[in-house]
Structure 1
Amino acid sequence: MTQQGVRPTADQVLALAPDDASREAGSGLGTAGPWSEAGSSVEGAVWGLCKGGGSLPYRTVVDLADGAGPAYECSCPSRKFPCKHALGLLLLWAGDEGAVPAGRAPDWAERWLAGRRGRAGDRPAGAAESAGAADPRAARRRAERRAERVTAGATELEQRLADLLRGGLAAAEQAGYGLWEETAARMVDAQAPGLAARVRELGAIASSGPGWPVRLLEECALLHLLDQGWLRRERLPEGLAATVRSRVGLPTAVDGPPLRDRWLVLAQYDTADAKLTTRRIWLYGADCGRTVLLLSHGAAGRAPEPTLPVGLTLDAEVTAYPGDGRPRVALGERFAPPAPGGARPSGVPPARAAARYGDALREDPWLEAVPVTLREVIPVPDGDSWQLADAGSDDALPITAAARARPGLWRLVALSGGAPLTVFGECGHRGFTPLTAWRPEEDEMVTLR
């Protein structure tokens, strides 16, 4: 995960979590509050005492010095590796060097580190190579065991959906949120955090206003489709199978060769809850013409990385994640700092934007929105709502309710003044969410979120 003496990033730490529940719990422990006597060594060890529910704190130590990967030791009763305390300690180290100062390990940590490194030193020559050769087989076995648990969870979820529809949607209204939370917990146990997240979203639909039974039925249908996609994944094209694996919540690695381009930063915005901050950065490739997404996370309210100024261009490589219609990429080598200049996307009319979202749904039926640049559009009121109207036709896209509630709408209206604009945003089944805009004759981009 890290070179000796180099701290990991929050994204690298969160990628170590065995499941979504551990990721959330570890994020909550990524602050200095619950920790005492935390420290680190130049060799790559981190240790600390974490306050728990008992009278004695949990002793946690992580060793990052071994090239085979990090190792963990914690006095808590968890059977997960790494446990939430190890994740929290690494997040604390990643985010605040002063909270985990360099120093000498306490006796309890030193004994474990010495024993572990002693065993590593006693391995005969070639043992490391043999262990490395065995790692792919061990990883395959772990993946197979997890797939079996996900399959069991998906099968159980199918039965619960069938019971719900057999008993009628009114039962969901009477049962309240507890029905969904208990089902989501079963999906977490099955190591399918993507299924768990979608189940929790169902709990917010019942009694949510006029038409809620229709919305609940639609979301149940999408969840059923995802279940069936997983249970029949061997029959799917590879790209769609990769999309299903990602939607279920299995970790994915970048796939394919890196692509170097001059990437225009179209938009950057954060969304946050009590445990995690998620940053989305949209980039446009001047040469390839593609719009791609950088997704990063920060624990316990800390800002994720990287930060890229909107309107500047970055000469860099990106590598795509697998999955049909998925624009997510990982940022690779940067060849120069962000600088002004670079081509702007020309954009499409509203009708073509809606069609683009429809095309994307064929590849990923669970897709909420696609990135789109609209050209020659004017923000105009539509009763109690607003829309982006095509300056040359009667076509228009409604602006989402969430976007209408933010100040960015009024910046968009002021920038337009009744004249056409180019607007970049996300187009989905709820409408269009504007993120940035600029006048056709000007280079300056105005952030709307």
Structure 2
Amino acid sequence: MTQQGVRWTADQVLALAPDAASREAAGRLATAGPWSEVGSTDGGTVWGVCRGGGGGPYRTVVDVADASGPTCTCGCPSLRYPCKHALGLLLLWTGGDGAVPEGEPPAWAERWLTGRREDAEAAAGAETAETGAAETGAAGAEAAAGAAGDPSGSVSRARDPVAARRRAERRAERITAGATELEQRLADLLRGGLAEAEQTGYAWWEETAARMVDAQAPGLASRVRELGSTASSGPDWPVRLLEECALLHLLDQGWLRRDRLPQDLAATVRTRVGLPATADGPAVRDQWLILAQYDSVDARLTTRRVWLYGTETGRTALLLSYGAAGRAPELTLPVGLSLDAELSTYPGGGRRRAALGKRFAPPAPVEIRPKGVTPSQALARYGRALRDDPWLESVPVTLEQVVPVPDGDSWQLADASGETALPLTPAFGNRAGLWRLVALSGGVPVQVFGECGHRGFTPLTAWPAGPGQAVSLN
């Protein structure tokens, strides 16, 4: 879920879909064309009227501000919850491109919101009265509020943090139940043998992922879907499936034993499971060198990753931006320039992901380059990072004085001495960026920034041996 005033990501929205058909249908509705009278509030309420093919138009309202889970209403006859119209409206809202302006809800949306608030207040009042009676022996809700430290005796002010805590506890209980069920399903899968995974097909994985969505654990649901795409996906798929099952088992156990983990690792587990996080780190102002920017596209969303390097602090930070249904993400920063801005980090091991805060000047050219390491030091850095986040695919690394050289049917980056080298990831070997890198080097050592992980090294940006601008390899 999201805190009040924080816009969701497309991935979070799609994790709510009850099935694959709903996700696909929602993607088609994530454009402004079918919608009218759209709007939103800073508190997390979105509304709009969708042009329907049957008995439409359909009035749709979604409230995502409640920490216990989103609620919605729609005039369509669909039995799925949330329906494709609610999901499509949320995807349109996540774009952040002005398609869903902020404003006051219309009367028809306000009526539903008012009725829902009254129901919630009645339920919370009954819960508070019951708790107060248990603690004080027959004290009313106001007495319970006063005992809680509210000198004015105001029930509502005393109740809000208590209710929020209870909602968070209920969600944690749902996730725990989901993680326990997932452990049993993984055990049954391994007990029957991985060959059975090939025979069951994708439907079993999709049904398991839906169970994780019901448990309000979108991170687990996403990993289960990835497992479904791994089965029968090419040579050595049983090995890769077993590895991914082991990592998923480790994440399950991390959640079930999160109280015993170090604080940063526990925060990483919460994020990996799918709980929301806010950039709570202190704002750090620096001249941030824009190292790389690239998009990852799938059928559900476009994810844009922007790597930054603090020229004064020496820190490397990651900005994430999302676009739904093939729409380009909003954030765009030119590679090779420097940005005078503030960043705040998210919790978790390594604290690399950050939120972009106040910008003090537009991007400008800079002569500074990031500090580099050797291939062996890059591997050691990845190994250390896995202690903080065992599910980490790669770490950002700048290699100093390396030369691209062929290695049979693949390529690698060797240091100037030729003693150590890093293999390039197979996917990068099929890109045009490889030949740009080879041409830039011409057999001379260059500086290369990229991501180093268990599959190898993926170059993203390179600098020539002498003076010159950064060259994007995407």
Q: Give the TM-score normalised by structure 2.
A: 0.80
Number of paired residues? Answer: 431
Q: Tell me the equivalent position of 2:143.
A: none
Give the aligned partner of residue 56 of structure 1: 56
Per-residue deviation at 1:387?
0.5
Question: What's 1:12 paired with?
Answer: 7
CA distance in 2, matches of 1:267, 1:216: 31
Using the aligned pairs only, state the percent identity.
Answer: 69
More deviation, 105-114/271-280:
105-114
On the 8 A contact 1:351/1:395 being kept in 2, the answer is yes
- Indicate which of 158, 162, 183 corresponds to 1:137: 162
CA distance in 1, matches of 2:219, 2:113: 36
2:7 and 2:115 map into 1 onto residues whose CA distance is 26
Does 2:173 align with 1:148? yes
Counterpart check, 1:208 vs 2:233: yes
Aligned letter for 2:37?
Answer: A
Match of 1:245 among 252, 258, 270: 270
Q: Does 1:384 align with 2:409?
A: yes
Following TM superposition, by how much is the alpha carbon of 1:136 offset from its aligned partner in structure 2, in angstroms? Answer: 2.8
Distance in 2 between residues matched to 1:14 and 1:168, nearest whole Å:
36
Map 1:30-429; keep pairs closer than 5 Å: 30-35=30-35, 37-39=36-38, 47-51=47-51, 54-61=54-61, 74-76=74-76, 85-86=85-86, 88-89=88-89, 92=92, 108-109=108-109, 131=156, 134-429=159-454
C-alpha distance 143-285 of structure 1, shift in aligned 2 (>3 A): same
- Bigger mean CA deviation after superposition, 16-25 or 384-393: 16-25
Separation of aligned partners in 1, 2:96 and 2:13: 24
Q: Deviations over 1:121-162 (max 9, x none)?
A: xxxxx99x9656543333222211111111111111111111
Instruction: Please state how far the C-alpha of 1:107 moved relative to its aligned partner.
Output: 6.6
Q: Deviation of residue 308 (structure 1)?
A: 0.7
Question: Does the Cα contact within 8 Å between 2:10 and 2:301 map onto a contact in 1?
Answer: no
Q: Closer, same or farther in 2 for the Cα pair 1:78/1:229, shift >3 Å?
A: farther
Quote the Cα distance in structure 1 between the aligned partners of 2:11 and 2:79: 15
Structure 1: how far apart are the matches of 2:11 and 2:390? 28
1:424 partner amino acid: F
The alpha-carbon distance between structure 1 residues 309 and 130, as it changes in their structure 2 partners (threshold 3 A), is: farther
- Post-superposition Cα deviations, 1:221-273, rounded to whole Å, max 9, x if no partner, equal 11111111110001101110001111111111112211111100000011122
Distance in 1 separating the partners of 2:218 and 2:105: 36
Q: Equivalent residue of 1:373, what SS?
A: strand
Q: Distance in 2 between matches of 1:359 and 1:47?
A: 46
Q: Tell whether the 8 Å contact from 1:28 to 1:275 is kept in structure 2 after alignment.
A: no
In the alignment, the residues of structure 2 paired with residue 203 and residue 429 of structure 1 have an alpha-carbon distance, to the nearest angstrom, of 21
SS in 2 for 1:21: coil
Q: 1:318 to 1:78 in 2, by over 3 A?
A: farther
TM-score (norm 1): 0.84
Q: What value does the CA root-mean-square deviation take over the aligned residues? A: 3.7
